[in-house]
Structure 1
């Protein structure tokens, strides 16, 4: 297992890395469409996620003005509701905030607690300010500081998002470790000079043979051991 040295601040991606985003959205869809079978729920989830990814890409390409995740989630929920035949406004409103009620992975809370005794720990998320606040509270995530990409009106992997974390960390980029379950996220961080660590999750984007990250870990326990030595 890799040992990672000379780190001053640890930065975590949130969605998918510390919380199960697909699982939480799936639960939100089941809540408002309880008669749907698993195949139907999976199709509705794919509709939601596909829409969100396309809209974030459009914003990154400059073909859509910036909109935060709360706006995009409401739009995605509307599409899902129309596909599912959901007409109750209160159910639609509940569905639109499903992304604020995502469950943590089993090792997330203990791993953050252990790591925060040794390092300043930051969250860096594409989630909107208010969504991130409620997500942190629901999942029980505890940070020294949680940063939303909304502050720079961009989405990862735009470099200004990682620079937000670096400015907050207040040290050289090669003393800051970005942790994520998404190789695309780590590539963006590495391009700004940050150190990088991949943590495996069932819903992540695994590295390829061409990726040169500082460490690959099966979970939070391995990551904490690599950083602290125990």
Structure 2
């Protein structure tokens, strides 16, 4: 178990951890297909998410060359549009950029600001560089540095993605804390020697009983209070 005094740099996952990805996509689908009821919107959201997960898995398995999230999101938007009967090119294009307009969780912006007064704070995301730039601006996320997995042409939990953050931190991995709402993400960071903190979000991937992370928090306020109480 890590001690707070051992942590030099804090790294955050972005999608799901600091921004509400499903909520933002659901709102964009509802905007694009306003006549759809809740069940239909949820079905279209599932179609989108399944496409993204499948394509990222194919890339990880070597069955597809690396493609950015912008490309995969455009594919997902076209699948959703075809399923919903949406034919307006402008509406489909706006839908394809939905991942760049995700809302932050209520504690994300202030929590990052508070934490950044005490630690170097990095973002580490599967979002492509361009999407990440626009997402950060839209959500009001402020970083000392933000890193995209596009730099290594891979997606988390590939080890080389976490190494990006370790290299940027410039200190041993056991002094770098990875914060995420996804247990699978933390397992990847843990395998690279990083310290880990699970931050609960309604849309995250909760830990299994077998997971042993350094900390578990109910949200960012609790995490920031613990890390700055020294």
TM-score (norm 2): 0.98
Question: Which blocks of at least 5 consecutive residues in structure 2 are unaligned?
Answer: none
Moved over 6 A (4+): none
Q: How many residues align?
A: 229
TM-score (norm 1): 0.98
C-alpha RMSD of the superposition: 1.0
Give the CA deviation at 1:221: 1.1
Q: SS of the counterpart of 1:197?
A: strand
Supply the distance in 1 between the matched residues of 2:85 and 2:138 (Cα, whole angstroms).
28
Question: Which blocks of at least 5 consecutive residues in structure 1 are unaligned?
Answer: none
1:121 aligned partner: 121
1:9 aligned partner: 9
Supply the distance in 2 between the matched residues of 1:191 and 1:226 (Cα, whole angstroms).
24
1:209 aligned partner: 209
Supply the distance in 2 between the matched residues of 1:63 and 1:3 (Cα, whole angstroms).
41
Q: SS of the counterpart of 2:75?
A: helix
1:229 aligned partner: 229
Give the CA deviation at 1:5: 3.1
Q: Deviations over 1:165-186 (max 9, x none)?
A: 0010000000000000000000
Q: SS of the counterpart of 2:17?
A: coil
Q: Deviations over 1:64-118 (max 9, x none)?
A: 1100100000000000000000000000100000000000000001100100000
Supply the distance in 2 between the matched residues of 1:3 and 1:119 (Cα, whole angstroms).
15
Determine if the alignment matches structure 1 residue 140 to structure 2 residue 140.
yes
